[in-house]
Amino acid sequence: MLIVGLTGSIATGKSTVSQFLSSPPYFFPIIDADLLAREVVEPGTPAYKAIVRHFGPTTPDLLVPASSGGADGTPPMPEDGLNGKGRPLNRPALGRRVFGTDEARRRDRAVLNGIVHPAVRKAMYVRLARAYVWGHRVVVLDVPLLFESGIDRICGAVLVVAVHDPAVQMARLRARNPHLSAVEAEDRVRSQGDVRDKARRAEARGPGRGVVVWNDGDKEELRREVDRAVAEVLRGSPRWWSWALLLCPPAAVVVGLWTFWQNSRINKRWEESELRERSKL
C-alpha cells in the first residue's frame, strides 16, 4: 500500500485536490487530519479535557455558551454540555488565541499542537491499518502540517498543493471567510509557513516521491495538475507491488521501515541545506 501525504497551506486548494483524489477515476481513501482533529477534541475526550484545563482559565469564551434551543427544534444544550460530557470548544475563540506570529501565540499554538497531534496521530495509524487490511493500493493522508509534524517520514510520496503568489491565498481566504480582517487572514496564512518552501521541500525528495500541484488557475487546470501528479506518483508503485505487500505482511513492515529511514535521511539533508542557506544571509 502506497501512503501519499497531501499537504499545502490554508486557501491553496488542498481540500479541492482531496475531493478529486477521493472521486472517479481514483477513489483513493482519504484520512483527513483536520476531521480527526475535530473528532479527538469532542466533549469528553482526553484531548478536550486537556485543552479546557490549560486554556480555560485564561480564555473565558473557550466553550460554546449553553443555549436555550433553536427555532428549528434543536434541543437546548444543558449547562454541562451535550450528554453531560461538556460544551463544545468555541473554535473561533481558540483560533484567536493561537493564530499569529507573536511569541505568546506561538507558545499557545505549540501547547495546542502538543495536545492534539498525538491524539490525531494515534487515530491516523488505526485508519492506516484498516486501509491496509482492506487491500487499498493507495491511501492519502491529508495533513496541513505534514512536514512540521514529521508524518512525511512514513509517506512513500508527497503531494504539495501550492500557489506562486501569497496574495492569491489571501484573496481566497477572505472570500471564503469574509468575517476575517486582513490582519487575521495574514496571521492564518503565515502560521502555516510559506507554501513555496513546502513545494521546494517536496521536490527535494526526488521524481515521483515529491510532486507539486500548482493551483494558480481555475478548477479545470487544477484537475489536469492532479492527473499529472498522480500519474507521476503511480509510476513508481505498480499494482502488483501493492498486492505483494498485502499478501506478505512482513515485507510490508520492512518496506515501511525502509521508507521511514530513507525519508529521515532526506529530511536531515534538507535541514542541513537550509541551515547553510541561512548562514549565507
Reading the block at residue 61, the C-alpha cell is 469564551
CA distances from 16 to 10, 19, 209, 237, 244 (A): 12, 5, 21, 24, 32
User: Is 35-135 in the same CATH topology as 1-29+136-281?
Assistant: yes
State mean pLDDT over 161-189. 82
Q: Is residue 229 a contact partner of residue 159, using CB atoms and an 8 Å limit? A: yes
Average pLDDT for residues 144-169, to the nearest whole number? 90
Specify the fold of 1-29+136-281: Rossmann fold (3.40.50)
Q: For all residues of the chain together, what is the average pLDDT?
A: 87
Give residue 70's pLDDT. 43
189 vs 149: CA distance, rounded Å: 18
Residue 71 has pLDDT above 50, yes or no: no
- The mean per-residue pLDDT over the stretch 160-179 comes to 85
pLDDT computed for residue 221 by the predictor: 93
Q: What's the pLDDT band for 136 if we cut at 50, 70, 90?
A: very high
Which sequence spans correspond to the domains of the chain?
1-29+136-281, 35-135
Q: Residue 139, SS3?
A: strand
- Residue tagged 521508507 (cell numbers): 259
* pLDDT of res. 29: 96
Quote the pLDDT of residue 96: 84
Task: Write the single-letter amino acid at 45.
Answer: T
**What does the pLDDT read at residue 276?**
84
Count of CA atoms in the C-beta half-sphere (13 A) of 125: 8
How far apart (Å, rounded) are the C-alpha atoms in residues 162 and 165?
Answer: 9
Q: Check whether 268 has a pLDDT greater than 90.
A: yes
pLDDT tier at 18 (50, 70, 90 boundaries)?
very high
Coil, strand, or helix at residue 100? coil
* pTM (2 d.p.): 0.81
d(CA 160, CA 212): 5
pLDDT at 92: 85
Residue type, 101: T
Q: What is the pLDDT of residues 191-239, one digit of tens each?
A: 777 888 999 999 999 999 999 999 988 899 999 999 999 999 999 888 8
Q: Are 54 and 257 in contact (CB under 8 A)?
A: no
Lowest mean pLDDT among 1-10, 65-74, 148-157, 178-187: 65-74
Q: What is the pLDDT of residue 81?
A: 54
d(C-alpha 200, C-alpha 179), whole Å: 32
Helix (H), strand (E) at residue 141: strand 138-142
> What is the Cα–Cα distance from 210 to 119, expressed in whole angstroms?
27
Lowest mean pLDDT among 240-244, 268-272, 274-278: 274-278
DSSP string, 159-227: EEEE-S-HHHHHHHHHHH-TTS-HHHHHHHHHHT--HHHHHHHHHTT-TTTEEEEE-SS-HHHHHHHHH
State what percent of residues in the chain have pLDDT above 70: 93
Residues 46, 50, 51, 52, Cα dihedral to 10°: 100
Domain 35-135 is classified in which CATH homologous superfamily?
P-loop containing nucleotide triphosphate hydrolases (3.40.50.300)
Task: Say what percent of the chain tops pLDDT 90.
Answer: 48
